[in-house]
Amino acid sequence: MALTREQMDAKMDEHFGYEARDDIEGVLSTLTQDVVHDIVGSPTGPTLGPDGARGFYEGLFGQLTSHGVRSLRRLYGENFLVDDSVWSGTAPGKPFGIEGHGRPLEFRLLHVVEFSDEGQISRENVWLDLGAIQQQLAA
């Protein structure tokens, strides 16, 4: 059964809300048990299941403090969406191997997300603007 745009939006907003609060268990609760979690370019490659995704979130939340994600545009298909958004926050740690020194940071994200018929995230592919991150933190 196809999800509505509103159902997909609600799940993405829930997912982003948990991320903004550094709530790992909350983020993982939005995923299916067989989720494919793919941060494109990550040295680990795609991971499988919530336990596979856990390591990424534990590392990320230790390096960045989120102020939130602002969606610029969403495109929809049958049980998938593409979300073009902007992440903003600070970098108290060493995100993506770059010393943050607590500086403010803002960068674009592109999510391609597939949903199960039950409305959980079954695949999450994420591209981030590493060039913008490097430029802001290398100064």
DSSP 8-state code for residue 119: S
pLDDT of residue 131: 94
Q: Which strand ranges, in their side-by-side order, compose the sheet holding 31-39?
A: 47-48, 31-39, 121-128, 103-115, 80-91, 65-77
Q: Look at residue 112 and tell me whether its pLDDT is greater than 80.
A: yes
Share of the chain above pLDDT 90, in %: 88
Q: Which two tokens mark 36? A: 């494919």
Strands, DSSP E only, in 8-129?
31-39, 47-48, 65-77, 80-91, 103-115, 121-128
Q: Look at residue 139 and tell me whether its pLDDT is greater than 80.
A: no
Q: Which two tokens mark 57? A: 């979130």
- pLDDT bracket for residue 136 (50, 70, 90): very high
Q: Which residues contact 77 (CB under 8 A, 6 or more apart)?
A: none
Q: What rounded mean pLDDT belongs to the chain?
A: 95
Q: Which domains does the chain have, with CATH numbers?
A: 5-138 (3.10.450.50)
